[in-house]
Amino acid sequence: MRLLSETHPLVTGVTSDAPLVRALRGDRPERVPVWFMRQAGRSLPEYRALRQETRMLDACLDPALASEITLQPVRRHGVDAAVFFSDIVVPLLLAGVEVDLVAGKGPVFAHPVRTAADVEHCRATYTPERLREALEPVREAVRLTVAELGETPLVGFAGAPFTLAAYLVEGGPSREHLRARTLMQSEPEVWHDLLEWVADLSAVFLEAQVEAGASAVQLFDSWAGSLSVNDYREYVAPASARALSLVRQLGFHHPGWHGYADVALQVPVIHFAVGSGHLLEALAELGPDAVGVDWRIPLDEASERLGSEMPLQGNLDPALLGAPDEALEAHLADVLTRGQHAPAHILNLGHGVPPETDPAVLTRIVELAHAF
């Protein structure tokens, strides 16, 4: 295990007793920790004002701007964690892959990756070493953010290998990922080579965020829900585990923390996949500290399926953010009550904040959850 620097907020103890970090250790802090996926971004007017003349990927690579966007929802909502403002394609971009974010569409790749020759070119050209050398803007953004956050932990994140590979094979967004799933089945060796390469890029991206000061990370899989359990375990799970491997090698000592003074603790890891209720056990098998649950499965049922042994994150239905107050508050109370069946619970959405969300609704959710 490689120990984090002496100035890291988990090492100094600044964030090691934060409600989010305690929940990820299986503890129940005095209040339920709350943060929202996509809390930094489109729903905030202050974000839209900053982004008026700046392209998304340029904003991600401007350390001061990325830090400010990361901090905005913490100031506005009083959430218990910041999530680093970036995009899942940033590690690919910094490694040299030609990609653009097209408004209203998403990531578009100039050269889709569909053959053994394509994969070999990527592995030889867009290397983890090249990415590591290009990550200084990300590290600086994390350092700036952590310096402002104080006791509030920063959650780093990366896209999971399957999601990134699906984009690469399709050349852009796709609902069914038919090309990707066909490649998976027809040329499994090519598929595994592709996922290993992408996993290594995600791993380096996560490692950089943690070393610069992130107190936890989340591996985010947008498209894993399109896979069967068997396909996920055989063709995807090993690469997701590989993506988490570098973070799992980073640890810290925190004297006096719940009797762990003489043990090196690992940086907490959350794994979340959309539409993954049928994959719940498979996600847990990767060994995260918590599994994110989307809105399709109740938290008490999810906890029971996992032996009531794993902290859970989730799982407010994003659609309820636009519902009448009574409906939203009843749903929130139900989620919080069901979350008590798990060893620990981090309140979040079952996916990301929709761009049309009224920010005042998110602030109200935080207040109600903290008072629950």
Q: What is the pLDDT of residues 43-85, one digit of tens each?
A: 999 999 999 989 999 999 999 999 999 999 999 999 999 999 9
Among residues 28, 31, 42, 132, which one is catalytic? 42
Least confident range of 181-185, 190-194, 257-261: 257-261
8 Å CB contact between 220 and 155? no
Please say if 38 is a catalytic residue: yes
Please say if 51 is a catalytic residue: yes
Structure tokens at 205: 């991206």
The pLDDT of residue 257 is above 80: no
Top-level CATH class of 2-371? alpha beta
Please say if 87 is a catalytic residue: yes
Least confident range of 175-179, 221-225, 240-244: 175-179
Residue 262 pLDDT level (bands cut at 50, 70, 90) = low
Residue 263 pLDDT level (bands cut at 50, 70, 90) = low
The pLDDT of residue 255 is above 70: no
Among residues 47, 126, 167, 235, which one is catalytic? 167
Mean pLDDT of 31-43: 96
The tens digit of pLDDT for each residue in 304-359 reads 999 999 999 999 999 999 999 999 999 999 999 999 999 999 999 999 999 999 99
List the domain boundaries for the chain: 2-371
Residue 104 pLDDT level (bands cut at 50, 70, 90) = confident
Among residues 25, 47, 76, 87, which one is catalytic? 87
The pLDDT of residue 118 is above 60: yes
Among residues 22, 38, 76, 181, which one is catalytic? 38
> What pTM was estimated for this model as a whole?
0.96
Distance (Å) of CA 118 to CA 133, 163, 168, 304: 23, 18, 10, 43
95-123: buried (b, 16+ CB within 10 Å) or exposed (e) per residue?
bebebbeeeeeebbbeeebbeeebbeebb
The pLDDT of residue 258 is above 70: no
What's the rounded Cα separation, in Å, for the pair 154 and 218? 11
Among residues 28, 31, 51, 242, which one is catalytic? 51
The tens digit of pLDDT for each residue in 198-225 reads 999 999 999 999 999 999 999 999 999 9
The pLDDT of residue 360 is above 60: yes
Q: What's the confidence (pLDDT) of residue 24? A: 97
Q: What's the confidence (pLDDT) of residue 352? A: 96
